[in-house]
Structure 1
C-alpha cells in the first residue's frame, strides 16, 4: 500500500507522466486500482536509463537542471567533482528518556507504561541479573561447562520484550535470555537447559545458555555470529506473505555488523520491504575487539540509511527509551511493511562469556564506572520508586525470594538424568544411515566399558 500511495502522489504531481514511451493524463481526483499502480511503479523502477547529452542543450553554459532518469528516481548532474565525505560533522544523536538518576528528561516523549507492566519489567530485570550471577558461579564451580551473562544489558532484553507480542518471532544471538524470561520461560527450564538434562528442549545437544522454545516463538540460539540475521528477514517476509499481524525481531552485537550476513540481510529486508526489527546491542566490544577496530562509520545506525532502512539510535541502558522505540518500530514494521534498525548503545559490564577475562583488554575502572553510574536496573528502579510503585521492602523480598528459587532450580536440574543416548542421533534423518547407527553402538559400548568417564546419571 505504501508503494501505491507513493506512486499515486508522484503521478498526481504531474498532469502528464511519461512511462515507457506512452503518455498518461491524470486528474487530481482520478483513482487507479492497485494492480495498475503496481504496474506503473514497476515501469518507473525498472525503465531503461535515459539522459540528455549536454551537447543537445540550447544553452552554451552548463544546465544545472539536467538529470538522469535512473531506476529508483532521478539523479541530478553537477559539473564539479564532489566526493561524499567519509565522516559526519556531528554524530547521530541518541534517544533517551531517563537520566542516570531515573528522572524523566524535560520534554521527552515516550510511550506511557502502566504500573503492572513497569513492575513486571523491573521484576524480570532483577530476575535476569540474579540468575546470571548464580549460574555464572555454578560454571566457576565446574557444575556446568559454559555460561554467558547479560550484565549491563538487562534493559535491552526486558524492555524490548515488553514492547513486542507473543506472535512476533524472536531470532536471538546469545545474550537475550531476558526476552525468553519475559515470555514465560521458567527458571527451572533455564536450569534444565544449562545442565543438559532430559527435560532440556535441546535434548542436551546445545551449549549451556543456548536456549530455544517453539512454545515461546524463540528460535534456538547458535554461537555462529550473525547467521540469525538473514533468517529473521526470511521469516519476516513469510509473515508478510501470510498477512500476519506480526514481525520478526533479531538481536545481535556490534561485532555481528562486521559480518557479511548483516549487510546482506539489511539489503534483503529493504528491497522486499519485510516487517523485521534489527536490534543491535552496541556494547563497545566484540569479545576483545573494540568498535574502533571494527568500523570507521558512526556506529551501526548509519548503515541502515545506506541500505534504505529506517533507523534510530537509543540509550540501551534506559528501559523506557528502549520500550518506546521498539513499540514504535513494531507498529511501523507491520503497518508500513518496512524493516527498522535500532542501535542500542550500552556496555557489556560482564565478561564476554565464562571463557573470557575482559580485564585483559579493558581497564577495570571503566567497567566499574558503567556498573555503578549507568546501571540500567538501578536507573529503572529509581523511576518506579518515584512513581510510588516500589520500595525498599519489596526490593529485599524480591531478591531474597529469587535467590532461593534459582538455587532450588539448579539443585533439581543437576540431579535429573541426562537425555537418552539415542537423542544424539535422532531428529535429522527419517531413517538413520548406517554410519550413525554404528556410531551410536560404539558410544554405548564405550560407556559400558568406561562408566567412570561419563556422568553417572547418563541414560544408555
Structure 2
C-alpha cells in the first residue's frame, strides 16, 4: 500500500489564525475540525450503504469540508443557502437534524420530500436551505432572486450560491451574475472548483485564467482561495458576507479543491483522472491539514480525535438504524403537497 503523503502545512501562527478567525479562533478551529470528522463519518457510511444497495445514490463532499463548515459557521440564521450536490454539511452546521437528512437519503416516510427527490438533494426549510436541482446551475439564479427579495425587504440577509466548476458553463451562471451585478444584490457566489466537472477538467471548459476572473465581466469582484485551507476560506467568506451586508453588492469566490472521491456513486474516476491525482488530492486533504495544525498548536490530541471520530460514527450508525426501521412513504402520500389548500 502506498504511504499517504504528508499534508501541506497550514502556514499560520496563533496570531495569524486570530486575524482570520477572530478572538475565539481556537474554539472556532476546534469546532470546525469536529464538524469535519462528522462529515467524514457520514460520507464513508453512506458510500458503503450505496454499494450495498441500501440507498440509491450518494455524492460525497470529501475534500470540500473546509468550505462547507466555514459557510455554516459564517452564515446567520436569516441567510439563505442555494446548494449544489455537496453542501448538505452547511445545513447540518446551521442546525438541520442528522436524522432528517438520513431519512431523506433512505427516501422513507419521514423524508421531508417523501421520497420524491434524489438522495443528496434535501431541503431544510428550517435553516433556509434550498433543495438543489439536478439541472446544473439553476440554483445560481435562485440565489440572486432571494438576494433581490432581501434587498426589497431591506433586511440584512445574504444569499449563498454554491456551484461547481462545471456550472460556470451554464446559462444560469451568466444570467445570474449579470443581474446580481446590475442590481448589486447581497449574494456570495461560492464556486467549489474541484477541478473536474464529472470527467471534464477545467481546462476543457474555459480559456480564462481563473473562474474567479469571470466576475469582472459582470462588475463583480472575484478572488481565488485555497479551498482546503479552513482559515483562508473562513476569512474570505467573512469579508464577502460583510461586504454584502453593507450593501456593496455581490462577490465571487473560487475555492480551489481536490475531489477526493468519485463524482458520485455512479462514477468511476479511474477512467479519466491521471495516476498521480489521488496522491495530490490527499496532500491537500482539508481535514488532515487542519488536524496537523491543531496538533502543532496543542489544541487537540490523537486520543481526542479518536473519541470524536468514534462518536461521529456511532451517531451516523444510529441514524441509519432509525431510518431503516422507518417504512416507505404510503401510496396516499402521492397526493400530499401538490397544491395549495383553500
Offset, 1:102:
2.8
Equivalent residue of 2:276, what SS? helix
Asked if residue 216 in structure 1 is aligned to residue 127 in structure 2, the reply is yes
Q: Which residue of the partner structure matches residue 53 of structure 2?
A: 142
The CA RMSD over aligned residues, in Å, is 1.8
| Count of equivalent residues | 333
Mapped to 1, the partners of 2:277 and 2:250 lie a distance apart of 35
Q: Which residue of the partner structure matches residue 167 of structure 1?
A: 78
CA contact 1:163–1:324 (8 Å) conserved in 2: no
Asked if residue 101 in structure 1 is aligned to residue 12 in structure 2, the reply is no
Q: 1:384 aligns with which of 274, 285, 294?
A: 294
Offset, 1:158:
0.7
Mapped to 2, the partners of 1:220 and 1:374 lie a distance apart of 29
Asked if residue 415 in structure 1 is aligned to residue 319 in structure 2, the reply is no
Mapped to 2, the partners of 1:400 and 1:285 lie a distance apart of 32
Mapped to 2, the partners of 1:120 and 1:211 lie a distance apart of 24
Q: Could you list the per-position Cα deviations for residues 8-42 of structure 1 after superposition, in whole angstroms to 9, with x for gaps in the alignment? A: xxxxxxxxxxxxxxxxxxxxxxxxxxxxxxxxxxx
Q: Which residue of the partner structure matches residue 244 of structure 1?
A: 155
Mapped to 1, the partners of 2:20 and 2:239 lie a distance apart of 10
Offset, 1:384:
2.1
Matches within 5 A, 1:185-224: 185-224=96-135
Offset, 1:313:
0.8
Offset, 1:310:
1.4
Give 5+ residue unaligned stretches, structure 1. 1-98, 432-460
Q: 2:244 aligns with which of 333, 344, 348?
A: 333
Q: Which residue of the partner structure matches residue 303 of structure 1?
A: 214
Q: Which residue of the partner structure matches residue 264 of structure 1?
A: 175
Mapped to 2, the partners of 1:164 and 1:154 lie a distance apart of 15
Distance 1:172 1:244, change over 3 A: same
Asked if residue 127 in structure 1 is aligned to residue 35 in structure 2, the reply is no
CA contact 1:124–1:181 (8 Å) conserved in 2: no
Asked if residue 324 in structure 1 is aligned to residue 225 in structure 2, the reply is no
Equivalent residue of 2:146, what SS? helix
Mapped to 2, the partners of 1:421 and 1:301 lie a distance apart of 47
Give 5+ residue unaligned stretches, structure 2. 1-6
Tell which has more relative contact order, 1 or 2 (C-alpha 8 A, sep 6+).
2
Offset, 1:107:
7.6
Poorly superposed stretches of 4+, deviation over 4 Å = 105-109
Q: Could you list the per-position Cα deviations for residues 279-314 of structure 1 after superposition, in whole angstroms to 9, with x for gaps in the alignment? A: 001111100111111011012111101110011110
Offset, 1:430:
4.2
Equivalent residue of 2:20, what SS? coil
Offset, 1:181:
1.5
Matches within 5 A, 1:345-364: 345-364=256-275
CA contact 1:240–1:337 (8 Å) conserved in 2: no
> Normalized against structure 2, the TM-score is what?
0.93
Q: Which residue of the partner structure matches residue 336 of structure 2?
A: 426
Q: 1:370 aligns with which of 281, 284, 296?
A: 281
Offset, 1:115:
2.6
Q: Which residue of the partner structure matches residue 279 of structure 1?
A: 190
Equivalent residue of 2:185, what SS? coil
> Normalized against structure 1, the TM-score is what?
0.70
Mapped to 1, the partners of 2:279 and 2:320 lie a distance apart of 29
Offset, 1:111:
3.6
Mapped to 2, the partners of 1:203 and 1:107 lie a distance apart of 47
Equivalent residue of 2:163, what SS? strand
Offset, 1:360:
0.5
Distance 1:107 1:139, change over 3 A: closer
Mapped to 1, the partners of 2:303 and 2:141 lie a distance apart of 46
CA contact 2:96–2:126 (8 Å) conserved in 1: no
Q: Which residue of the partner structure matches residue 110 of structure 1?
A: 20
Offset, 1:160:
2.1
Q: Could you list the per-position Cα deviations for residues 80-136 of structure 1 after superposition, in whole angstroms to 9, with x for gaps in the alignment? A: xxxxxxxxxxxxxxxxxxx92233179896243533222211111111111001000
CA contact 2:141–2:173 (8 Å) conserved in 1: yes
Equivalent residue of 1:110, what SS? helix
Mapped to 2, the partners of 1:293 and 1:365 lie a distance apart of 19
